[in-house]
Structure 1
Amino acid sequence: MSSSSAANDKLAHDSAERLAAQVSERLAAAPLPPSPLSRPANPFSTPSSSYSNISQLAVVTPVTSSEASFSEAGPSNATRQRPGLVPLSPLSSNTPSAPMSPTGTTSFVGSRFIAHSASNASLAAPGLTHRPPLSSSASVSTGMSEDGLWARDVNRTILDFLPAEDLKSSSRQLHPRLKFKSRRIPQGYISEKPWINDRQHGDRILLIITIITCVIGCGIMGVLIWSGISSVTNYKYCLVMEDDFSSGTIDTDLWTQEVELGGFGNGEFEWTTSNSNNSYVEDGKLYIVPTLTSDVIGEDNLLNGYTVNLTSDGTCSSSTLSDCAISSNSSEDIMIPPIQSARLTSKASIKYGLVEVNARLPVGDWIWPAIWMLPTDNVYGSWPASGEIDIMESRGNDHNYEDGGYNYVTSTLHWGLDSDTDKYYKLHNSYKLRRDTYKKFHTYALEWSDKYLTIYVDGRLRQVIYHTFSESFWELGDFSTTFDNGTSIQDPWPANNNQAPFDQDFYLIMNVAVGGTNGFFADDVGDKPWTDGDRQIAMHSFWTNRESWESTWGDAEDRAMVVDYVRMYKICE
């Protein structure tokens, strides 16, 4: 048996002896009981009485629960079940038992007791093993029920009773909880608590300063938030143009299909057409789809001996000859643009208002979808002096493309004295979808007034650009005052007009371009199959390496920009 078990047995033995002594004292102080025939059956209805012969009282000794049983001497010496006794679960059968009294015993385990008489008969509590008969001539037995500890004679007359409440109180006093003692910490060691013993007055001052600073910071933050919200004006808008494409065809009263060959100043590789292969309405949606030119004129004509003249048939939308006619010539490395696509421009225009376009973007390497605006009249000069608003631009490359594929959209404002001084990078930003792509439908919107211009995706919380007209674009651009030859540079925009050049009417453009030499697809990024520079050389390289990108385009549904609706509003007077 372990040292802790021995200590517990000794403690139990001492506890039992003390409880027996209490019962003995009460029995010694009481007169002899009346005749057993006149004794009431209920021990609680009359005051308890006890024998004066204390030597006949059973001695209390500790035992293990494997030995615990209850027995009493009765007239028939028969074994009976004692109701009301608390059952105790037996311990291991090989646990040694404590010595027993020759006259009788009261078993003690924890704070529960079972009595043993000196007779040779035994009465076991439920769930307990029987104890071997005891040899003694004692005529008094003790026991315990759920109500308390009792003593009685052979006639089952209650001689004395100790309530359970007194037993519990005594048990707590005899069995105090042992405190945990660590073997790692030396006895008498007191841990240091400098934050309690060495607390300084300065600590409280620092705490107060911290709390005051937090309160002031929260107040300032609240003022800034309120100021920002109050600065946004919710204008009343009047509808200028709306197209949900429910008519089943492209409405020529609302749109113009631009037909050109020249690349639109970006060196793009497409020939924009009005053919139904490249732009059409299906199921209430507009499709703008890039296709291969060789599917229409053949690959041999694409590279040599074929002439396209859009002026002769009156379809060209440009007044520049190079935008309207071209002849393929293999000896001079001149080819027809290898891609056909479409570009639609709105006939409506607005100055200050709201534009909303709900669209799904295309998938495929080097595809370049765009929703943007140009001024109706170049009031301040040729591009970019009169401005450009790019509501949405993206790339059809997948999400692994380093500069951002179909999970990115960008928005930009272009302005400058000429193409070399375009300050677009000062008002340019992108928006990336973390757990989604733009292959699904999203709403691209522009809000524009004489106070601010903002571009966002699916609501103001997904803001891409926000610009207030707090300074002129001349000041924002920080332009040089002289050219390299010493000639003075003049501000092309009116003084005291911070909105210019974005103070004129602009119209809407929707198109799907492919490739280009203006740097939108940077060299040496994503295995780009051409190098920026000469457009004809770039188109030849792009076409020669078509095996690297053609498989990424998928069918017409995948490589198309699909538009659900377009709405243009102006600010109501």
Structure 2
Amino acid sequence: CYTDRSDNSYLSNGKLIIEAKQESFTGPAEPVDWNTNPGNRTLPYTSARLRTKDKGDWKYGRIEVRAKLPYGQGIWPAIWMMPTDEIYGGWASSGEIDIMEAINLNTNSASHNIHGTIHFGGEWPNNRHAGAHITLQDSNPTTEFHTYTIDWAEDKMRWYVDGIHYGTQIANHWYTDNPIGSSFAPFDQRFHLILNVAVGGQWPGNPNASTQFPQTMEVDYVRVYSCPDSPNTLTSCQ
């Protein structure tokens, strides 16, 4: 369960800590913004999901987050963005921007992969996605801080780790099924930032006996640049 308790999200030594814990907890079966009356369920883990919706919402620019990541089987840290207004409809017709995702860090030879992805197209199950990944060969994202960045322009997005460019998506490769969308839709609207540590899920699988708890994502800073010289082309963010 995601909670709003200080056990799961807090400040320590000037850093934001999101902590996943192994503990039985009864809470909403779904995030409250998914369902106005979700009911409750009891799960064996707790964590936190922080978002800037209606407090920090952006259209185009550079988003940069310096963080140290959690590790282990079933652990899924994410730095991502969702549409604030969802004018094109439900997921994923209004889009999703994943600045950084990682799963099962420190568990196998491919476990230092960092992923950057967009989701678009129609509402589930007619959604589509595209992305890239980078493998951190000479450093460990769970013991060292790294800077995860996306440059988001009207017609392109670029992903970086520590200034190293590893992925690009361009507008003629994304779309929305909603007929009101422009050629740049759905990524031509306001999005807000989300930071969370998920436990389990279809992609990473569930934790096992090797997974150590608690697990923490430490966030040193979040910086958003508006690229004022040319917000649609990111000229001032080069």
Structures share fold, TM-score greater than 0.5: yes
> 2:168 corresponds to which letter in structure 1?
Y
| Amino acid corresponding to residue 492 of structure 1 in structure 2 | N
* Deviation (angstroms), 1:289: 0.6
Contact (CA 8 Å) 1:472, 1:498: kept in 2 or not? no
Letter in 1 for 2:38: D
**Residue of structure 1 aligned with 2:23, choices 293, 308, 314:** 293
For residue 77 of structure 1, what is the aligned residue in structure 2? none
**In the alignment, residue 82 of structure 2 is paired with which amino acid?**
L
Aligned match of 1:378: 86
Distance 2:38 2:226 in 1: 33
The answer to whether the 8 Å contact 2:73/2:107 transfers is no
**What is the aligned counterpart of 1:505 among 190, 202, 211?**
190
Give 1:339's aligned residue: 45
- Which amino acid is the alignment partner of residue 282 of structure 1? S
1:437 aligns with 2:140: yes
Give the structure with the larger helix fraction: 1
SS in 2 for 1:293: strand
Q: Give, in whole Å, the separation in 1 of the partners of 2:160 and 2:173.
A: 23
Q: Deviations over 1:114-133 (max 9, x none)?
A: xxxxxxxxxxxxxxxxxxxx
Aligned equivalents of 1:499, 1:435: Cα separation in 2: 37
Is the radius of gyration larger for structure 1 or structure 2?
A: 1
Shift of 1:472: 6.3
Q: Equivalent residue for 1:473?
A: 174
1:505-558 superposed Cα distances (whole Å, 9 cap, x missing partner)? 000000000001xx312xxxxxx66xxxxxxxxxxxx6xxx5x23xx325x4xx
What is residue 463 of structure 1 aligned with on the other side? Answer: 165
Q: Deviations over 1:23-56 (max 9, x none)?
A: xxxxxxxxxxxxxxxxxxxxxxxxxxxxxxxxxx
User: Which residue identity does 1:337 align to in structure 2?
Assistant: L
**Which amino acid is 1:457 matched to?**
V
CA shift, 1:390, in A, is: 0.3
Cα distance in 2 between the residues matched to 1:507 and 1:276? 22
Q: 1:389 aligns with which of 97, 118, 133?
A: 97
Asked if 2 retains the 8 angstrom alpha-carbon contact of 1:318 and 1:324, the reply is no
Provide runs of 4+ in structure 1 moved above 3 Å: 316-319, 321-324
1:3-18 equivalence runs, <5 A: none
* Alpha-carbon distance, 1:428 to partner: 1.3
- Could you tell me how far apart the structure 1 residues matched to 2:73 and 2:223 are? 29
Supply the distance in 1 between the matched residues of 2:228 and 2:65 (Cα, whole angstroms): 20
Aligned counterparts, 1:214-253, within 5 A: none
Q: How does 1:264-303 map to 2 (within 5 A)?
A: 271-294=1-24
Counterpart of 2:47, as a letter, is S
- Superposed, which structure 2 residues align to 1:150-189 within 5 Å? none
Alignment partner, residue 417 of structure 1: 122
Aligned alpha-carbon RMSD (Å):
2.4
Q: For residue 568 of structure 1, report the CA deviation from its aligned partner.
A: 1.5
- What do residues 309-335 of structure 1 show as CA deviations (whole Å, max 9, x unaligned)? 66xxxxx74362563423xxxxxxxxx
What is the SS of the residue equivalent to 2:121?
A: coil
SS class of match (2:187): coil
- Residues 1:570 and 2:229 are matched in the alignment: no
1:361–1:560 contact (8 Å) kept in structure 2: yes
Counterpart of 1:351 in structure 2 is 59
Alpha-carbon offset, residue 567 of structure 1: 1.0
CA contact (8 A) 1:309 1:325 kept: yes
Alpha-carbon distance between aligned partners in 2 of 1:318 and 1:494, rounded to the nearest angstrom:
24
Pairing partner for 2:216 from 517, 541, 560: 560
Q: Distance in 2 between matches of 1:375 and 1:321?
A: 18
Q: In 2, Cα distance between the equivalents of 1:309 and 1:428?
A: 33
Using a 3 Å threshold, how does the CA distance of structure 1 residues 441 and 324 change in structure 2: closer, same or farther? farther
Partner residue in 2 for 1:520: 203
Question: Higher relative contact order by CA 8 Å / sep ≥ 6: 1 or 2?
Answer: 2
Cα 1:293–1:428 shift into 2, 3 Å: same
- Give deviations 1:434-460, integer Å, cap 9, x for gaps: 12121110000111112321111111x
Shift of the 323–513 alpha-carbon distance from structure 1 to 2, 3 Å rule, reads: farther
**Greater strand proportion:** 2
Task: Give the aligned residue type for 1:473.
Answer: W
The alpha carbon displacement at 1:492 in A equals: 1.4
| Structure-2 separation of matches of 1:449 and 1:468 | 9
For 1:293, the aligned partner's letter is: E
For residue 338 of structure 1, give the secondary structure of its aligned residue in structure 2: strand
**How many residues are treated as equivalent by the alignment?**
225
- State the alpha-carbon separation in 1 of the partners of residues 128 and 33 from structure 2: 27
Match of 1:492 in 2: 178
Structure 2 CA distance, aligned partners of 1:309 and 1:498? 41
Give the 3-state SS of the residue equivalent to 2:125 in structure 1.
Answer: helix
* Alpha-carbon shift at residue 399 of structure 1 (Å): 4.5
Q: How far off its partner does 1:494 sit?
A: 4.2
Is residue 147 of structure 2 the alignment partner of residue 446 of structure 1?
no
**Preserved CA contact (<8 Å) 1:366 1:397:** no
